[in-house]
Amino acid sequence: MESIKIGLTGPLASGKGEVSKFLKSKGFNYISLSDMVRDELRKRGLEETRENLMMVGNSLRKEEGAGVLGKRVREKIESDGPELNWVIDGIRNPAEIKELRKMGKFFLLAVAAPKGTLIERVKSRKRGSDPLSNEEIEKKLIREWGIDEPPDGQQVGACMGEADFFVMNDGTLEELHDYLSSLLEAIEKNI
C-alpha cells in the first residue's frame, strides 16, 4: 500500500494536536510546519514565542515565497522517509498546500470548532504563549484566519476551503477518534 500523508489545518485550539496524537498512535510520523519556523528562529537567535513564530513564518514566506514551509516539509519527508505515513501539522497558507500536494497521496483535513469552544480551550490549556483574555484570543483567531493579512501571511480560512476532509471537533474525544478511524479506513480503501 502506498504511504499516506495527512495535512492538518484549522484555527488555534481546534484540536489539531489531538488529531496528530491519534494518527501517531496509528503509526504516522509527525512533522509540523512550525518545526521549520522553529529551526529558523534558532538560526536567527530569537526566543520561541507565538508572536515570533508568526513573524518569522511570515518573513520566510515573503523572502522565499508563500509555499516555503510546505516545500521544506516536503523535502524533509522525501529525504527522511517518503515510504512512511506522515501527519503534517500547522498548514496556514494555500501555497503550502500546493507544495505538499506534490507528494503522492496527500490529503488535507480541516479541523474546526465553534468560536466559543476555541476561546475556552485556549484559556483552559494555559500555554505560556497563548493570549489570556477573550479579546486577545479573538484577535489571534482573526489574524490567523487571514483577515487583513497579506496573501503570503497566515490564511487558515483559505486553507480550510481547500480541505479534502472536514471535521467539526465540538464533541467528545471518542467521537473525534471514531471520525478519524472512519476517515483512515476510507482513505486506505481508496488508495
Give the burial string for 134-148 (b: 16+ CB within 10 Å, else e).
eeebeebbebbbbee
Structure confidence at residue 1 as a pLDDT band (50, 70, 90): low
* CATH ID of 5-189, from 3.40.50.300, 3.40.718.10, 3.30.450.20, 3.40.190.10: 3.40.50.300
Q: Which residue has the cell 513564530?
A: 53
Average pLDDT over residues 11-20: 96
Chain segment 55-67, per-residue pLDDT in tens = 898 789 889 999 9
* pLDDT surpasses 90 at 190: no
The backbone torsions φ and ψ at residue 73, rounded to the nearest 5 degrees and listed phi first, read -65, -45
Q: Give the residue with greater pLDDT, 82 vs 165.
A: 165
| CB 51, CB 130: distance < 8 Å | no
d(CA 77, CA 86): 8
Q: Which residue has the cell 489531538?
A: 18
How far, in Å, are 39, 43, 125, 168 from residue 173 at the CA level? Answer: 32, 37, 15, 12
Query: pTM of the full predicted structure?
Result: 0.91
Every domain of the chain and the residues it spans = 5-189
Q: Which residue has the cell 507528494?
A: 103
Average pLDDT over residues 76-102: 95
pLDDT value of residue 55: 87
Structure confidence at residue 33 as a pLDDT band (50, 70, 90): very high
Q: How many helices (H) and strands (E) does the chain have?
A: 9, 5
Structure confidence at residue 191 as a pLDDT band (50, 70, 90): low
Average pLDDT over residues 73-98: 95
pLDDT value of residue 151: 86
How far, in Å, are 22, 25, 60, 128, 138 from residue 18 at the CA level? Answer: 6, 11, 27, 19, 22
pLDDT value of residue 53: 84
Average pLDDT over residues 63-92: 95
pLDDT value of residue 30: 98
Chain segment 120-179, per-residue pLDDT in tens = 999 888 777 676 788 988 998 998 899 998 888 789 999 999 999 999 999 999 999 999
